[in-house]
Chains A and B, each alone.
Chain A
Amino acid sequence: MGPMIEIRGLTRRFGARTAVDGLTFTARPGQVTGFLGPNGAGKSTTLRVLLGLDRADGGTALIDGRPYTELRRPATAVGAQLDGGGAHPARTARAHLGWIARANGLPASRVGEVLEGVGLGGAARARVRTFSLGMGRRLDLAAALLGDPGVLVMDEPVNGLDPEGIRWVRSFTRALADEGRTVLLSSHFMGEIARIADHLVVIDGGRLVAEGRPDEVAAGHASLEDAFFALTGRPGGADTGFGRWPGGSGAARGGGER
Chain B
Amino acid sequence: MIDTVRAEAFKLRTLTSVLFTCLATAALTVGLAWLSGWSVGRALTDNPGLLVGEVVPEQSGFDAISYGQAGMVVLGVLAVGTEYTGGQIRASLLAVPHRPRLLLAKAAAVAAAALAVALATVPAAFAATQVGLGEHGYPLTGMLDRPVLGALAGAVAYWVLLALLAAGITVVLRNTVVPLVLLISLVLALSFYLSMLTGLADLLPDRAGAQMFLRGGPNRTDLSAIGGGAVMAAWVAGVWAVAVPLFARRAA
B-binding residues in A (CB < 8 A): 48, 51-55, 68-71, 74-75, 80, 82, 84-92, 95-96, 98-100, 102-105, 128, 143
Interface range, B side: 20 to 34
A–B pairs, 10, beta carbons within 8 Å:
A69-B97, A71-B97, A74-B96, A86-B89, A90-B17, A96-B91, A98-B10, A99-B10, A99-B11, A104-B95
Across the interface, name the chain A residue whose C-beta is closest to B6.
A102
A89 & B85 in contact (Cβ 8 Å cutoff): yes
Tell me, rounded to whole Å, the shortest Cβ–Cβ distance linking B9 to chain A.
9
Are A100 and B90 interface neighbours, CB within 8 A?
A: no
The A-contacting residues of B in range 3-61, CB under 8 angstroms, are 3-4, 6-8, 10-11, 14-17
- B residues less than 8 Å from A85 (CB atoms): 86-87, 91
Distance between B32 CB and nearest chain A CB, rounded to angstroms: 28
Known: A52-B93, A88-B82, A104-B95. 17 other contacts (CB 8 A): A51-B94, A53-B94, A68-B97, A69-B97, A71-B97, A86-B94, A87-B91, A89-B86, A90-B16, A95-B14, A96-B91, A102-B7, A102-B10, A103-B6, A103-B7, A103-B92, A143-B91
* Cβ contact within 8 Å between B251 and A54: yes
B4 touches A103 (CB 8 A): yes
Quote the shortest CB–CB distance from B249 to chain A (angstroms): 8
Q: Which residue of A lies closest to B252 (CB)?
A: A53
Measured CA separation A55–B208 after assembly (Å): 40
Q: B185 contacts the other chain (Cβ, under 8 Å)?
A: no
- B245 to chain A minimum Cβ distance, whole angstroms, is 14
Q: What is the bound-complex CA distance between A119 and B86, given in angstroms?
A: 22
| B98 part of interface (Cβ distance < 8 Å) | yes
Residue of B nearest to A67 (CB): B97
Most buried by B among A71, A92, A99: A99
- CA distance in complex: A140, B94 (Å): 12
Q: Which residues of B contact A128 (CB under 8 A)?
A: 86
Q: Mark B124-149, 1 if CB is under 8 A from A, else 0.
A: 00000000000000000000000000
Distance, CA A138 to CA B7, complexed state (A): 22
- Provide the bound-state CA to CA distance between A98 and B11, in Å: 9
Partner of A103, one of B85, B87, B88, B95: B95
